[in-house]
A and B are shown apart, each in its own frame.
Chain A
């Protein structure tokens, strides 16, 4: 029985997690945060594990900026 309960629990947790990610995703779109679901879930799990949200946000921004730059550089390089 505990197995079954566990399973049920797990399922419920997963559903809830999905719900949470849905909610957060919606908020992020509201805020124009420009994050896809996957990235968002990674970030949430990072934060859940005690990462400083402020630092994480600056890291994400930084990475995005870098990405844009590389794309730009690449584009300009390819031209």
Chain B
């Protein structure tokens, strides 16, 4: 350490001695003092700043030197020499601090910097063109004079670290900056050498061209602006005529220069053409903005050209153009970037002709997001900001006001033409409000711009639709206005994350409000509950009372039913049951009416309960839903009716069995026994069916519906879906599913038809039983009458034997009349009637059994567990042999034969 500092101090001493000037005639003392001062100063200075301030790197110092050499010297010789020296230096191992020495030399060289009077370095352009035309604008005005100031400014800008740093940024920052600089300068120096050589060669072998390059240069700015000039006239919109006299290389250069000119012409025409929609207009505005900056570039170019031409030395070879720094080739390089931009814009303008609205945005967004060239990406991104402005305006109006302001149909939500909707209705007529929700607006997928995802578009669509629905369907425009005032924000392209959070927020608020309105203002959930209670027979006491009070009425033909009696009975049923505690809002919607009559129907077939739903709740309980409810109600009502009928018959039989039905006839009591058995079977069947539908189907589906609609963040669409699912589950599991075509014979296969058949059989069986009962009653009375007569006759014969001999007409007439009116008819017909009845009962019973077997066979092979369960419950003790559809014909035979046997 000490030796090192010693060496340093001795070095300082010798350095000072070498550098201090001998002043002739100075006295040695003062000279020594001066020297001492200097040494002290040096020591202090060096001591205070030990250690390199900058990270030591040989390459950096050499780069700096190279840069300087290239800058300060017109020819690359020196730089080349330096490179040679530098490589030699690197091969020598003696010195450890090569970087430091180089850096020291670099610092020392600083003061002697003198710029040779060259105009502008041609190597500025690769850097320059990296920036857009704006950069060009910025550097020219900085040098208003053609003086010394101008000389180094552009150079500094071009080669200063600032100017170069932009390179890696532009190229995506992939490469190491230093490495890149090195490569650049190496290539620059090589290029430089080549250019020098070429210039010399060109100057020697220069052939005069006609028109001269200067003239071409003078015309060039006009050409670039799409204007005809003397040498380069535009012969038509898309052709530029080049002078035929020019040599091929110049022609090829001019070809390159003609490209931006022609593109510009095309684009300026495009900009002037009227845009179809708002987005197209904004695209034109954005492009015209870009064209303006292109014109700015052309203006600077023109300035450069003029300045260069004004300093031309006519005596030099090639008209001195080689020295002026502005040549046609330079112009090509300068306009290269602009040409790329123009090319992209003309591509966009061409493709935009067949696209509109969201597709247009998708097109440009495609360039900005998936194009490999980062420059193209950045350019498209810039365009996108302008183009999307009107789109975001529409989006804002849509998600904050629920209004669609889209005069040119460019938004991805479109308002449906009411007439078109009517055409599209395939036989399904819909209520007013449901069309507001379902049909008023439509989301067209292909119009969704790729800047937003499909999910997102769906959300946006829902928000606007809900707002619109709140405003028009629910009549709550006040809330919408307040909300739009409070929440409205300006949306613009770029910050997707914020936009998303805003839209999510809007989505939540809107949906919550809509559900709130539905629940609180329109009592949607109450209505659903009421539908279940009344239409799906959930309110048992009400239904029982209604049926009881209506039964006598409904037995009459359908034509004899009057609405007022029905409504009166309904009112009675409501008053008499727990339904009276329901809210009047619900009760006033309940109505009883007759369905369309057909000939021969009785009241039972036509009666229906109705629950009136009006807008906007009919968005959820649609027309279709209402029909489903009605279907289920009619089915349940029929089951109820059969149950009711069977129960009353059963009751009659039971009471009768203790009195009128007791007889000695073995045959008759056997018939009664069989009948009771079949009746019990039927009652079991009906009971199971009812239990299944009410508890297994309706209640479980209801439970699912409840959990679905009370979920957090539930939307109206979810509600509608859940309700539809609920109805579908009920109709499907409740054996009411739509008819399925099966091997061409669809009628027998649906459960609906099978059950209908079974229910009909039950009713006719019940009629037959009633017939048997009345036969039994009359038989009973006949027997009683016979007994009485026998007794009376016996007594009479005992008492009054003479009477027999008296003429029949006088004595028997009145008694016979009295007695025989009930007795004579049975006397002849009753014995005939019993076997007929018995036969009929047997046939019906057998038929019923075979039908049930068929049904069970079908049920056993259902994919749905619940439906299989119904089969099991009905046939819990294996009384029936389920028959599969395929061998139904044999099954029928079997059923029949087993019933007979």
Give the interface of A toward B (CB within 8 A): 13, 16-17, 19-20, 23-24, 26-28, 30-36, 38-39, 42-64, 66-67, 70-71, 74
Contact = CB atoms under 8 A, between A and B. Distances in A.
Contacts of A27: 65, 82, 85-86, 89, 102, 105
B53 interface: yes
Nearest to B4: A49
B94 A71 contact: no
Given A28-B105, A55-B46, A66-B38, A23 B100 contact: no
Interface in B10-35: 11-12, 14-16, 18-21, 23-24, 34
22 contacts: A16-B92, A16-B94, A20-B95, A24-B101, A26-B85, A27-B65, A27-B102, A28-B108, A30-B81, A39-B15, A43-B104, A44-B95, A44-B101, A51-B8, A51-B46, A53-B101, A55-B45, A61-B107, A61-B108, A61-B111, A62-B45, A70-B21
Contacts of B46: 46, 51-52, 55-56, 59
Contacts of A35: 105, 108
B315 interface: no
Interface in B62-95: 65, 68-69, 78, 81-82, 85-86, 88-89, 92-95
B185 to A, nearest CB: 15
B796 interface: no
A40 B112 CA distance: 17
Contacts of A64: 19
Nearest to B109: A31
A11 to B, nearest CB: 13
A64 B111 CA distance: 12
Interface of B: 4, 7-8, 11-12, 14-16, 18-21, 23-24, 34, 38, 41-42, 45-46, 48-54, 65, 68-69, 78, 81-82, 85-86, 88-89, 92-97, 100-109, 111-113
A8 B519 CA distance: 104
B101 A49 contact: no
Given A16-B92, A19-B92, A23-B88, A47 B106 contact: no
Contact of B7 (A49, A56, A60): A49
Given A27-B85, A38-B18, A43-B15, 9 more contacts: A24-B101, A27-B82, A30-B78, A39-B15, A46-B15, A48-B96, A53-B104, A54-B53, A57-B104
A63 B105 contact: no
A37 B243 CA distance: 62
A43 B105 CA distance: 10
Contacts of B88: 19, 23
A41 B112 CA distance: 21
Contacts of B16: 63
* Residue with the highest number of chain A CB atoms closer than 10 Å, among B78, B88, B105: B105
Nearest to B15: A42
A33 B105 contact: yes
B694 to A, nearest CB: 97
Contact of B23 (A38, A52, A70): A70
A67 B112 contact: no
Contact of A33 (B24, B41, B81, B109): B109
Given A39-B19, A63-B42, A47 B92 contact: no
A67 B51 CA distance: 27
Q: Which 9 A-B pairs have the closest CB atoms?
A: A31-B109, A57-B107, A32-B112, A53-B104, A33-B108, A53-B100, A55-B49, A63-B19, A67-B21
Contacts of B102: 27
A49 B34 CA distance: 25
A53 B104 CA distance: 5
* Residue with the highest number of chain A CB atoms closer than 10 Å, among B65, B93, B94: B94
Contacts of A59: 41-42, 45-46
A30 B86 CA distance: 12
A58 B23 contact: no
A50 B46 CA distance: 10
Contacts of A20: 89, 92, 94-95
Given A33-B112, A63-B38, A53 B52 contact: yes
Contact of A50 (B8, B111, B113): B8
Contacts of B7: 45, 49
A66 B85 CA distance: 32
B210 to A, nearest CB: 45
B66 to A, nearest CB: 10
B108 A57 contact: yes
Given A28-B108, A57-B104, A60-B108, A42 B92 contact: no
Contacts of A74: 23-24
A13 B94 contact: yes
Nearest to A74: B23
Contacts of A28: 105, 108-109
Contacts of B52: 52-54
A39 B38 CA distance: 16
Given A27-B85, A47-B100, A59-B46, A52 B19 contact: no
B19 A31 contact: no
A58 B107 contact: yes
Contacts of B111: 61
A39 B18 contact: yes
A14 to B, nearest CB: 9
Contacts of B69: 30-31
Given A20-B94, A23-B89, A28-B109, A67 B104 contact: no
Contacts of A63: 15-16, 19-20, 38, 42
B901 to A, nearest CB: 122
B85 A71 contact: no
Contacts of A31: 65, 68-69, 105-106, 108-109, 112
* Residue with the highest number of chain B CB atoms closer than 10 Å, among A32, A53, A71: A53
Contacts of B19: 39, 60, 63-64, 67
A6 B50 CA distance: 33
Contacts of A71: 21, 23
A24 B92 contact: no
Contacts of B108: 28, 31, 33-35, 57, 60-61
